[in-house]
Amino acid sequence: MIRRSTNSTVISYHPNHKGDATLLHGLHARVRLIGESVYWTNIFQQTTDVTFLFLGILWQAVYAWDQALEALYSHISSLEREAIDTNNIKMTRELHVMRAHLLHYDSLLVDFLKSVDFVLETRNPALEVNGDTQRERQILEREGENLRLEIKRLRTVASNQDKRLGNVIDLVFSLVNLEDSKHTRELTEASLRDSEATKQLSYLTMFFLPSIFIAGVFGMNVEEINPGSTFRLSTYAISAVVFTLLTAWGIVALQSKYILGERVWTRFLWPYTLAKRLYLEWKTGVPII
């Protein structure tokens, strides 16, 4: 606004968006409504400061903010009802987008509040010439404080809606976690059933193991069972014992990483290492970890 003693000029920028209420004719209609308002007409009769017209235009922006936040409140309420009825994790994307918009709105309201403060703190040079501006200043401070309070209220509303969105996001995640827990429990129960079936198969194998062993023994090609054979039963016994000991040795060496250390040769010498450790513990009386 360019303020002068004879006349003043308001310069505004309007992007060319169809259906936008902030177009030039929309702003012109809102200014006419301000002039037709009983409240603002009473103020205009008490002062000649055109800054009050600019404050009236700022009030129109406040009303638009209020309508936008009210529409957003209705949308958040519908999302809350939808979140209770469903556990779709894809809802969180829309909810996070809305929270990002609310943060942007809050920054815009902060800039809006700074603009109001600038208007209130910048005196009208046209009125300074006349000298007596005390009455206009009191009215301006009153209206400015009302405008500040309304902007702060809008910021509080936006903050509360952001908290509601946070609650809806937590609700969605909780429902998803409950559903995941349900599936995990079902998988655990299925694993327990499979484990029980495996245990039964193990029992069945143990039941037939003696028969399999006897069949293997009678099927051996040794002198005691099959006369004329090259090998004897003692050869089988010695070979079985040797291979069993080698297998046990290797298993202990490979599975004793956390007991005997990382070095492979130390683990494969585990009888000597364990004997040495037991001797040192017996001699010192201090357990060696």
Instruction: Return contacts of 223-232, CB within 8 angstroms, 24+ apart.
Output: none
Buried b (16+ CB within 10 A) or exposed e, 30-69: beeebeeeeebeebbeebebbbbbebbbbbbbbeebeeeb
pLDDT of residue 129: 55
| Whole-angstrom distance, CA of residue 112 vs CA of residue 287 | 73
Task: Using the structure block, give the residue that is written with the tokens 């559903």.
Answer: 179
Mean pLDDT of 181-196: 83
CATH class of the region 24-191: mainly alpha
Task: Using the structure block, give the residue that is written with the tokens 């004997």.
Answer: 275
pLDDT of residue 19: 53
* In the chain, where the domains are located: 24-191, 221-284
Residue 144 has pLDDT above 60, yes or no: yes
Residue 197 has pLDDT above 60, yes or no: yes
pLDDT of residue 44: 76
Residue 76 has pLDDT above 70, yes or no: yes
pLDDT of residue 102: 86
- Span 199-257, pLDDT tens digits: 778 877 877 777 777 777 777 777 777 777 777 778 778 888 888 888 888 777 777 76
Q: Which residue has the higher pLDDT, 279 or 110?
A: 110
pLDDT of residue 199: 79
- Span 174-183, pLDDT tens digits: 777 777 788 8
pLDDT of residue 17: 57
